[in-house]
Every structure is written in structure tokens, then in C-alpha cells.
Amino acid sequence: MKRKDVAALALPEGVNPHAVRPYGDALDDGLVQVSFTLPVPLCPESVEAARRLGGQMGLKEPTVYHQADLGHGFSFYILYGKLQHAVDFGRIVVPRVSETHVSFDEINARVQSVLGRRIRVVGACTGSDAHTVGIDAIMNMKGYDGEYGLERYPQFDARNLGSQVPNEVLLRQIVELDADAVLVSQVVTQRDVHLDNLAELADMIEAQGIRERIVLVCGGPRITHEVALELGYDAGFGAGTRPSQVASFLADEVIRRKA
């Protein structure tokens, strides 16, 4: 978002777009809630340690609102405090996926008239990821949020490989099916293993010599378009993405590359 766009936003009265703070009980009070686990048993000292950590985070008047013994020497805390920092909302620019978002019928009509054949798409949850909610929302016939998934599109040949698919298996399917596009979903990971997994797949496709003709897309709650670009992908879609958004992007990109 550019600074000139801020004036067009319906901001609450009294909000300075160039000094935005969290809202709790009153405008600009900076009140926030944070939670974390400490590797120490629950006791008065651990509660005080949590409160002091809140202060070191920059919170004014940190208060431990809730604490719980997790067992095995671990404890959990919820804190309230007032954040003193503000952000210049008017200077924030977020990379966004470039797509002509059109309807189900318009997408199919364009692919048929311009490309003249079905777009071949392979999708999967790769690595150790067993959560198919995201990839199913985009690819399965029933779709998501009132929209059909790619399997329902007459001009898409969509193959959903499911969960825990090794990158080697996915690459083999990409080559065998002569895929135009690849969708990779990463939902739950630890220690950012999803980033390594996604980067590995991009490198493998590059090494295969087919990267230029493959539209490579990743998605998930921890994925942004900016992250996707850094990993070597063409686009990244986050939580709440609808099937038509992905279909529109794929149609645009495949047609552009095959033109």
C-alpha cells in the first residue's frame, strides 16, 4: 500500500495512519496480549520471570493474567501490557499476486479460447505435512467459500496427490504428467522446515531443466507472496485464498508462457 492510498481507507475517527498502535480498551492505548511457554516449573518466581520478560519486550505495565502448569518442568503464561511503539501504516508496501480475478465461467472460456487445451495442474502437501485442508480447498470439486475447486473446472486437469508427498515423488509426477503448474501446500511445520522443503522442490525443478515452463505456486497460513518469491516461486497465497484467485493466476501465467 502506498502513502497516497491511505486517504481512501475508511479509518476510525482520530486514527493517525502514520502512527498506528494496537487497540485494547481505548484508541491508541497500545494494549496487547502475548502468550508464551517457559522451560521452568510454575511457581511465584516463574510468574515474576514472565512479567519481567513482558517488560523486556517493551510492554508498559506488564501483568500476568493467566498461568498454567504444563507438567514436566514447563509452564504457560498470558500477559497484558501496553505497547509503546507505533508503525507508519502509510509507508507499508506489501507485494501482492498479480492476477485478473474473474469468474469460473470467464476463466474456463479464456483458457479454451486462448490456450485451446486443458491446463495440467499437480498439487500436494509435501514433506511431513499431513494437513490437506488448504490444498483440498483449492483443488477438490467441493471447493471453498462457495466456490468450486480446480477439479470442477472443465479447462483444468487437476491432480491432487494428497499429504506427506516427498519432493522426489512430486517431481516425478510433474514430469510424467507434463504439468503446466504445481501447487504446494504447507500448513503445519516446526523450526521453519516448510521453508527448506519448499526451497528444495524449487531447486529440484530447476535442476530438471523445466522451471521456465512450470508455474510454481505455494500456499498456507505461514506463506506470503513475498516469502514465495524469495524461495523461487511465482506466487504465494495465504489463509482465506479462494479457488478462483488461484485459477485466475494460473490461467494468466500459463497463457502468458505458452503464448
Catalytic annotation on 82? no
Under a CB-based contact definition with an 8 Å cutoff, are residues 79 and 50 in contact? yes
Catalytic residue among 4, 60, 82, 142: 142
- 20 backbone φψ class: left, alpha, beta (φ>0; ψ -120 to 50): beta
Provide the b/e sequence for 43-64 (b: ≥16 CB within 10 Å): eeebeebbbebbeeeebeebeb
Cα 214 to chain center, whole Å? 20
Under a CB-based contact definition with an 8 Å cutoff, are residues 249 and 217 in contact? yes
Reported residue count of the chain is: 259
Q: Which residues are catalytic?
A: 142
